[in-house]
Structure 1
């Protein structure tokens, strides 16, 4: 019996949480399905990882767009009609049973193209809670949300975002929480050392991720002669600004390790994971950190509250409150033994709740939709 064909339409193969999630999901599904990955914004450093799994790759975009500069955005808008036509032709040729889209450009072009190509199941996966301007919001509703047969929200907060601002009928939405390769991230576990604690942030160097807030907290600590080692893993438009802030404030022990394809590898270098994001749809890095047995200090936002139990598996500080973030970091620097109770609770969470977020369980839930 021939395998069902699943086409994932995505923006590109950049080093983001969504792309890492799709990599794991496609790897799990490729056992039972013919899987193809189609990009509408071009390539990216993760493409080599996708090529390691039995997934066919097609670039619908005639140009590889990986920058956020205005001129590049303008070029993409100009090229969008060509990308769309190539995508429709590809779908009509391949005739997949299901098309799954993720992120704005892929949602708008992918769902509309799948509708024109008469693909029976068109699944849009909503990962974020990014507020859109009127035109972009209307375009997404008209060409994507309205034409999708199913919509997946990666968390309860994302479902609420879809149901209220975007006015998607609740009976059209299914919550499927993101997942990871639990066994892989458990190998990144490392006990908290008593001296030279390493703090780390793993994520895109963009304003919404809160790196500047973290550096402001670090500045407070260094005035108290507390200068822990810090690792920033990721790349983005804010890198130069962050480097200038570090230099102008004489901050010490901050290392940029650049973009990483193996998040579990960089987590091995970190004792305490900090997630100072202003907003998140799910916060995949929190899940990766918990399974890797890292103590987590995170912004008190809905997505973080869905995963963390304050005072048990992590610490939540008031969103954008530099003093509270500095206070949480200070507590572990001055009294590393505080980590013991957190580690016990995290261990319990891994055994009781962790399996729920394994990528295999995630794949099973998507199979039910297919």
Structure 2
């Protein structure tokens, strides 16, 4: 039997959640059965390198200046005509645009779109385009229940086309006590320090790591440390902000880490105060590390975290509420442990990479059978 040819379309490949999921999916594929190529606007960094080491070809078409930049679609169509994919799968708005136009004019048998965000600020024009795109799609994946609701109620996509596939993350590797000891020592984290952690691209208008800094300032506890794993355009500004608050000795930014598991294992509480979030992969990662999670009640985060059970949900843009919930967890180690265990159980049941990849493959096989492409 010939290989099933898959073509994924996304925006930038750098260090974000969408491309991390593509990498996770690629790792799960049986390349004796499947072939995978990825079209993107731009590709840089370690995720690109890992995908290419797996044998995934990455084709860059350049950034979009608008949804009707036909020169970009011509490049996509050139790839489709040479590759002749059985399935085209687009994620992120640019990816959905490329998959829809490419799938329609390239006569790709199966078109799948995936909404990877909770786009509360998306314009009416973009929502209209997404509704039009869905007409030509076989299925539209929502990566969290709140995203599925958004697709049905806000974008007005037919319920018969929308399918829920919760995002998933890899089960973490356990690091040795010696490794953890050396990292803590190198970061000057004392035995009696309590570490609030977060992971993500440092784009503060989205991730709001500055709200954690403000919460720590409000708590006025020098034994409280904020460990931030991630890089991004606001990295230096965030360090300056910690200086302005006078808590620079409590802020520990370590930049991007290709393998962040050991850093999660230093944390006592995980916090993700995003302004908006489609899913929040790192919250699920924190839960798999048995950490209670304080997160904002936005997008997929409100589906992942059960308020009062696996952590706490707070309104966005509310450092005072983050401080209030942190104080509860700081003062009650038994509650931290209990919430962490319940978080782990929930993540193992709902948010593992194996489950996500299997559900996506099951959808592929279902549609391939319905189209008569496999028996």
Normalising by structure 1, report the TM-score: 0.86
SS at match of 1:324: helix
Query: Distance in 1 between the 2:233 and 2:194 partners?
Result: 28
Q: Following TM superposition, by how much is the alpha carbon of 1:335 offset from its aligned partner in structure 2, in angstroms?
A: 4.1
SS at match of 1:167: coil
**Is 1:330 the counterpart of 2:330 in the alignment?**
no
Matches within 5 A, 1:61-80: 61=62, 76-77=65-66, 80=69
**Is 1:313 the counterpart of 2:310 in the alignment?**
yes
Equivalent pair of 2:194/2:223 in contact (CA under 8 Å): no
Query: Distance in 2 between the 1:78 and 1:141 partners?
Result: 14
Q: Following TM superposition, by how much is the alpha carbon of 1:362 offset from its aligned partner in structure 2, in angstroms?
A: 1.9
Query: Distance in 2 between the 1:11 and 1:288 partners?
Result: 23
Equivalent pair of 2:10/2:91 in contact (CA under 8 Å): yes
Q: Following TM superposition, by how much is the alpha carbon of 1:337 offset from its aligned partner in structure 2, in angstroms?
A: 4.1
Partner of 1:187: 174
Q: Following TM superposition, by how much is the alpha carbon of 1:80 offset from its aligned partner in structure 2, in angstroms?
A: 4.2
Equivalent pair of 1:189/1:294 in contact (CA under 8 Å): no
Matches within 5 A, 1:207-218: 207-218=205-216
| Alignment root-mean-square deviation, CA | 2.6
Equivalent pair of 1:15/1:261 in contact (CA under 8 Å): no
Partner of 1:268: 265
Partner of 2:154: 165
- Provide structure 1 residue ranges, at least 5 long, that are not aligned to the other structure: 66-72
Equivalent pair of 1:35/1:55 in contact (CA under 8 Å): yes
Equivalent pair of 1:189/1:268 in contact (CA under 8 Å): no
The aligned length equals: 350
Matches within 5 A, 1:351-370: 354-370=348-364
Query: Distance in 2 between the 1:173 and 1:189 partners?
Result: 43
SS at match of 2:211: helix
Partner of 1:126: 115
Query: Distance in 1 between the 2:159 and 2:238 partners?
Result: 41
Matches within 5 A, 1:1-370: 1-31=1-31, 32-61=33-62, 76-77=65-66, 80-130=69-119, 131-142=121-132, 144-182=133-171, 185=172, 187=174, 195-206=192-203, 207-222=205-220, 225-251=221-247, 252-301=249-298, 303-347=300-344, 349=345, 354-370=348-364
